Amino acid sequence: MKSGYITELFSSFQGEGPYVGRRQIFIRFAGCPYSCFYCDTPSAKEPKPGLCTVFGNAEHNNSFGKAFLSKKRFIENPMSSHLVLELLTELRTHDLHSVSYTGGEPLFYAAFVKEIAKGAREMHLKNYIETNGYSARAFASLVDHFDFASIDIKLRSHQASTDYDKQYKNELECIRIAAERGLETIVKVVVLKDTAIDEIEKICKDLVGLNIKFVLQPVTGDRAQRDIVPGIKELFAISELAGAFLHDVMVIPQVHKILHVP
């Protein structure tokens, strides 16, 4: 049985992309090889946190034979896949859409993620992976256990890694694998003020012909970062450009920050 490090395991609403507002159980895996300057989950970058925080978001029994975990509790890391699956049962609700494997970066623990995803499917749950696509090899090893993949494409200006070409190649390969294996594939690009339009055009051209949803997500700036938030005219221009190459283009901000949920 595999084990790994998880920062948080909780029930909430999806806050990004076309499934925004859908109830999910989030497994936030620890660690990430990138360092995007706008990262909104810096605490999840710690690769070996001592404790995982577990919480639900309601006060009722969940009617699946377990009481909701409405209060936070802390579980020692590393956690076994068996324990994670037990917690999924506790956090399961009737409105549940899927289990989201997020981070940090879930591909960091590919074998552990795969074992949990396999067990979740046996519980008749759907699996949704949110990844920065840093390793196409790791992604290929687990993709068949997933129904949805949300894969980021990082722009040069995000300063995610020191080897942009390798990073981009892996992202594109993950997207291609997900689309070809029949997953519902969402490609997300975080857009900043003054995002280079040529760069978006190149990405769109590279994605032509793939069955994907293309999400432009304006960065959510805190007070210190307000000057990096793109203007509405910029978003219209980028969306129109993307629409010239791709069928399913959408501009969706992070909604969980408006709802003040994790």
Task: Give me the residues that bind ligand SF4 (CB under 6 A), please.
Answer: 32, 34-36, 39, 41, 44, 103-105, 132, 160
| Least distance CB 166 / ligand SF4 (angstroms) | 15
Nearest CB to ligand SF4, comparing residues 32 and 110 = 32
| Least distance CB 151 / ligand SF4 (angstroms) | 11
Cα separation, 119 vs 79, in Å, equals: 15
| C-alpha of 15 from chain center | 10
| Least distance CB 250 / ligand SF4 (angstroms) | 20
| Least distance CB 156 / ligand SF4 (angstroms) | 14
Nearest CB to ligand SF4, comparing residues 52 and 125 = 52
Exposed/middle/buried for 215, CB within 10 Å: 0-12, 13-18, 19+? buried
Nearest CB to ligand SF4, comparing residues 28 and 145 = 28
Q: Spell out the SS3 assignment of 214-251.
A: EEEEECCCCHHHHHHCCCHHHHHHHHHHHHCCCCCEEE
Nearest CB to ligand SF4, comparing residues 14 and 93 = 14
| Least distance CB 107 / ligand SF4 (angstroms) | 10
Nearest CB to ligand SF4, comparing residues 56 and 104 = 104
Residue with tokens 């067990």: 119
Cα separation, 36 vs 65, in Å, equals: 41
Nearest CB to ligand SF4, comparing residues 199 and 243 = 199
Cα separation, 112 vs 225, in Å, equals: 35
Cα separation, 185 vs 57, in Å, equals: 28
Longest dimension (CA), the chain: 54
Q: What are residue 102's DSSP bridge partners? A: 28
DSSP structural state of residue 191: E
Nearest CB to ligand SF4, comparing residues 151 and 249 = 151
Exposed/middle/buried for 254, CB within 10 Å: 0-12, 13-18, 19+? middle
| Least distance CB 160 / ligand SF4 (angstroms) | 6
Cα separation, 101 vs 245, in Å, equals: 29
| Least distance CB 43 / ligand SF4 (angstroms) | 10
